[in-house]
Amino acid sequence: MQQQNKRVSKIADIGELDRRITLMKKKYVGENPNTGMSMYKDVRLGDVWAKVSALHGQEYYTAVTVKLEKQLSFIIRYRDDVDEQTNIWFEGRGYNIGFIDDVKYNHEYMEIKAEYSRGVDNPDEDD
């Protein structure tokens, strides 16, 4: 058991998951009557605890080379319903997920790289 705890602690001690984030997905809500284009709205998947950090060092330079700006790293407990089409709402801002790492393929934690986006709906606003 101690070996397992040591392995996990390199990623995040459970106590480090100290920020609340909202996970959301786009849902089809119909067609725009004026343009006929499909319309989507972000719907809440759930609220989870996360470790949130800004990118720095090699991660930052890698993000810059692929033109990702205002990017954060989120570490959460593993969820099978989170993918690159999932969005994150954190501290009044929306983030689009660009990359997900199932850490060590253990299905325990996910490290998510996400970029700030103005196109993510506030989950607390009413229609």
Mean pLDDT by 10 residues, the chain (127 residues): 45 82 94 94 93 71 56 93 95 93 90 88 72
Query: What DSSP string describes 36-69?
Result: --EEEEEEEEEEEEEEEEE--THHHHHHHHTT--
pLDDT at residue 119 in the model: 76
pLDDT at residue 59 in the model: 54
- For 77-93, how does the pLDDT look when each residue is reduced to its tens digit (9 = 90+)? 999 999 999 999 999 99
pLDDT at residue 7 in the model: 44
pLDDT at residue 56 in the model: 62
Residue showing tokens 């119909």? 30
C-alpha to C-alpha distance for 50 and 6, rounded to whole angstroms: 19
Q: Are 104 and 7 in contact (CB under 8 A)?
A: yes
pLDDT at residue 124 in the model: 79
Class in CATH terms, 2-117: mainly beta
